[in-house]
Amino acid sequence: MMTTLDQTVDFSAFKKQFDGNMIMPGDSEYETARVTYAVTDAKPAVIVQPTSTKSVAAAIQFATANSLLLSIRSGKHSGAGFSTNNDGLVLDMSKFNAIEILDEEGGLVRLGTGALWGDVALELGEHNLAISSGDTKSVGVGGLTLGGGIGWMVRKYGFAIDDLTGVEIVLANGSVVRASETENADLFWGLRGGGGNFGVVTTFDFRAHPQGKIVASTITYAADDLSSIITGWRNHMRSATEDLTSFMTLMPAFGPHPASVMIMSCYANDDEVAAAAAIDPLRKLGDSTSDTTVVEPYSEMLQEAHPPQGVHFTAKDMFTKVLQDELITVLSDVCCKPGSPIVQLRMMDGAVNRVDSQATAMAHRDNEAFLFAGFPAPLGATEEQITQSLQNWQKLAIYSSGAYANFISTNTESDVADIYPSDTYKRLAKIKQQYDPNNIFSHNFNIKPAIQ
């Protein structure tokens, strides 16, 4: 028996039918297990780490029967804090972390939702295969994939979901089904962008790409003439080969580090001459303060990131149809100043644009660029201070054509509307009505079941 905030919950019967770890307040592992990348102060009633689909189903049913808020987690990187809670049940899928090569020649791989993208890149690299996932090793397969996945080869291969061929999922009613283009096709459509709204995915099947080494380039500039650097980068990327994916980060000064512009690029091929031809124009955008190029396995392109210390960041993001001059002027005014946001731009043309925007629940495909921004406020900032810190966002957001679920740290109705265009939302709501009519999976950018 355990008393949570407003109820007494009897865990004994659940424990008997559960395979895996069950971590509760007072257990030695609890202090580590309750913390996620973005949330350090949550106190769930229980964190369960199932090792079988039967136990995933048991956990869903237990949370439902006891009206416990249910949070799902794979790699714990949700910026909006969706993978932990207070007084609820956290369904931690980290034990489902197998990385299987089903057919090396055909590139078919099966990834457990709890596998981390750094480990996936390493393992697939052993077989000369790769999936364009994200930029960080410790991000989980589950959360990134269900949101879309914008990675280091996005211009060449599209979103991570564009290589997804099927999943196994445990539904709200405890049943285990597959979804693909030929099995529960509408559910499969919804899972490619609809996040954790429809059930708990245990495994993801992908068609990985043949991939040898890549050429990684990092060029840093002093933040002197932002407008000219951003414009030059945009102009070059507009005609650059799709082998080249490039992210530009605009950083304010931090401690001893001066404000800077960093362009990181991944050339998805080990042809150094061709890579130099693609990257060299980026070297001429200003006087660089550092410039490194290395031929390396794709797994090395993914890096580790740590939550910022001593400051509260609110993260916002947007797609923009055209990275137009006016927006570049706003960025030049807003960025790289004391207290200004950290902004990253990713060019989004190429493979993403070639998929119809109705083809998946990730509908934002007709854009030239993606932008995300972290707005700093003091630790323990009041709501008012946080709103104040977002003032510059209003100047950028007027150029938005929609948002990407995976980077946003807020969760408002307007965020949901930005993520899902109304036609997409309506279709998702019908799928939600079919698969999760009681909205058990609600701790997410929530799709409300359609009213019948």
Ligand X SMILES: Cc1cc2nc3c(=O)[nH]c(=O)nc-3n(C[C@H](O)[C@H](O)[C@H](O)COP(=O)(O)OP(=O)(O)OC[C@H]3O[C@@H](n4cnc5c(N)ncnc54)[C@H](O)[C@@H]3O)c2cc1C
- The residue among 203 and 424 lying less far from ligand X, judged by its C-beta, is 203
Q: Which residues in the 241-300 window bind ligand X by CB under 6 A?
A: none
Place of tokens 């996005």: 154
406 near ligand X, judged by CB under 6 A: yes
What single letter denotes the amino acid at residue 251? M
Assigned token pair, 26: 């007072």
55 near ligand X, judged by CB under 6 A: no
Selected binder of ligand X within 77, 110, 365, 432 (CB under 6 A):
77
373 near ligand X, judged by CB under 6 A: no
Residue 101 backbone dihedrals phi, psi, to 5 degrees: -95, 110
Q: Are 421 and 157 in contact (CB under 8 A)?
A: no
190 near ligand X, judged by CB under 6 A: no
Closest approach, Cβ 18 to ligand X, in A, equals: 17
Dihedral sign from CA coordinates of 21, 25, 29, 34: positive
Assigned token pair, 42: 């949550």
- Cα separation, 264 vs 302, in Å, equals 11
Closest approach, Cβ 233 to ligand X, in A, equals: 18
Selected binder of ligand X within 164, 200, 240, 347 (CB under 6 A):
200
305 near ligand X, judged by CB under 6 A: yes
Selected binder of ligand X within 42, 93, 164, 397 (CB under 6 A):
93
DSSP string, 258-319: PPEEEEEEEESS--HHHHHHHHHHHHTSS-EEEEEEEEE-HHHH-B---PPSSEEEEEEEEE
90 near ligand X, judged by CB under 6 A: no
What single letter denotes the amino acid at residue 33? A
Selected binder of ligand X within 18, 62, 82, 425 (CB under 6 A):
82
Closest approach, Cβ 112 to ligand X, in A, equals: 9
Closest approach, Cβ 284 to ligand X, in A, equals: 27
Residue 367 backbone dihedrals phi, psi, to 5 degrees: -135, 155
418 near ligand X, judged by CB under 6 A: no
Q: Which residues of 194-210 are buried (b: 16+ CB within 10 A; e: fewer)?
A: bbbbbbbbbbbbbbbbe
Residues interacting with ligand X, by CB under 6 A? 36-37, 71-79, 82-83, 93, 113, 134-136, 139-140, 142-144, 146-147, 149-151, 195-196, 200-201, 305, 406-407, 444
